[in-house]
Amino acid sequence: MARGVMGGQGRFIGDDDYRAGFNEDLRSTLNLDTWTNGLDVEELIAGIRTHISHAADGEEIIRATVREKVFPSLKAHTKLEAAGVYQANPERLRTVFEALLFPGRVEAVTSIVASHDSLPLGITQIGVAVVGYGGTSGTFSQRLFRKELATGNENPVRDAMECMNERHERSGMGRRDSLSMLARRGLRDHSERAILLDKAQAEWRIGQGNPCSRELLSGSGYPRLMTASLAVLSRLIGTHKKFVFVPHALEERGYLTLGHSLDAGEYALIQTLESDSAHFVERWYYPTEEVRDEALAFVRKYCRDILIGLFRSAEHAAPCLFFAHREHAHVAAHIAMADSLIHPRRGFPMLLEVAESSCRGVFGTDSFQGLVQDAYTRAGGKYQYFNERHSRRRET
């Protein structure tokens, strides 16, 4: 589970971990004599069914233990007064439908990024949509253009050499362009929260992911982006307060174990965001101690007011993580659950799905790439700058 709940620390993964996880020695896996020659479909099916059956039985034992032993002790373990498992109130869910969701008093914000990267130019488009059940409140976009080659200078040979060196340092020898990737993530997260706060009009706001994401707490390596992000989050958490954030995927397996132990219609409040956020800030590399202190001061002041919770809206739906202000956590849980009941098998807030569809409709990759290719055509059809191998990447 997350470090703040179970106190786990990162460590080196060794051969003993492999043996414990896969119940065989790594040497045996690497020995090709232990591999099956060809594909025996019947043996494959039998093996998969056996392993799934044993795993499912074991998970049910864990689930029963969590419900019987762990859930009742959440408050004592996390020292959070509100920690515990709650049953969603049917009357409150109905009120959320009738008084908040359908009248348009809840709006969701999400974004989409489309990018084009060729030798002479990199283009990144960030599109954000604000959506309520009354319709789309607004769409916003920004485009960033990245190029290294300066033209018209006195020393073109030197400029060309500097351009090659910069490109090599940025992505040569198999290195990824981490600078651009981090910048995209940080700008995307910042724009979502800024638009959620300043452009959305509804009383309640729904966002995607962790409100205080690592990209924002670190500024993605840009101190000015961090300062701007913390200013937006300070107003969102300290002033507005009526928000709920739901990640698209629940990747933290500790939280996932708790989530799968919930019954349909239950939600749990686990702990504040302070511990996890402080753990990250204390270990991130910041350019100066002053920048680190700024981030840590924000975490200590504001992240303690954000509660981490889980909900399960329907019997066959996967659990979802959510983040909400401690003053409105129970209402936030009911809003997220009520909106998820519109699509019970998906079990995820429908407004976020609608916002994403709106983004794709306006700022989708196909239309963006069409504009880019049209521009290349008008520039003389210089398609040799397209890196064709990008469309042939191995599936992982």
* In the predicted structure, residue 387 carries a pLDDT above the cut 90: no
pLDDT of residue 394: 39
Q: With H, G, I as helix, E, B as strand and everything else as coil, classify residue 310.
A: strand
Query: How far is Cα 137 from Cα 155, in angstroms, rounded to an integer?
Result: 51
* pLDDT for position 163: 60
pLDDT band at 148 (very low <50, low <70, confident <90, very high): low
Which of 82-96, 139-153, 292-306 shows the lowest per-residue confidence on average (mean pLDDT)? 139-153
Which domains, from first to last, does the chain contain? 80-116+124-147+180-372 (3.30.2170)
Query: Would strands 306-312 and 320-325 be described as parallel, antiparallel, or unpaired?
Result: antiparallel
User: What span, in angstroms and rounded, lies between the C-alpha atoms of 104 and 135?
Assistant: 8
Name residue 324's amino acid: A
Q: What percentage of residues in the chain have a pLDDT greater than 70? A: 82
Cα 60 from Cα 68, distance rounded (Å): 12
In this model, does residue 164 exceed pLDDT 70?
A: no
pLDDT for res 298: 98
Distance set, CA 193 to CA 62, 203, 229 (Å)? 37, 15, 8
HSE of 340 in the Cβ direction (CA atoms, 13 Å)?
33
Give, in order, the Cα–Cα distances in Å from 9 to each of 3, 251, 336.
7, 17, 31
What single letter denotes the amino acid at residue 190? Answer: H
Coil, strand or helix at 130: strand
Q: What is the mean pLDDT of residues 173-186?
A: 61
CB burial of 333-356 (b: ≥16 within 10 Å; e: otherwise) equals: bbbbbbbbbbeeebbbbbbbbbbb
User: Which DSSP symbol is given to 72?
Assistant: G
pLDDT above 90 (res 19) = no
Share of the chain above pLDDT 90, in %: 45
Whether 6 has a pLDDT exceeding 50, the answer reads: no
Separation between Cα atoms, residue 115 and residue 391, nearest integer Å? 13
> Alpha helix (H) ranges present in the chain?
3-6, 15-22, 26-30, 41-65, 74-78, 90-95, 156-171, 178-198, 214-218, 223-235, 253-260, 274-283, 289-302, 329-340, 350-363, 365-378
pLDDT digits (tens, 9 = 90+) for 44-65: 788 788 878 877 778 888 888 9
Is 163 strand, coil or helix?
A: helix
pLDDT of res. 150? 54
How much of the chain is in helix, strand and coil states, percent to nearest 5?
A: 55, 15, 25
User: What is the total residue count of the chain?
Assistant: 396
Q: What is the pLDDT of residue 386?
A: 56
Query: For the whole model, what pTM was predicted?
Result: 0.81
pLDDT value at 328 more than 80:
yes
Residue 332 has pLDDT above 60, yes or no: yes
Asked if pLDDT for residue 171 goes beyond 60, the answer is no
pLDDT reported for residue 49: 85
pLDDT at position 228 over 90: yes
Query: Quick one: how far is CA 154 from the chain centroid?
Result: 46
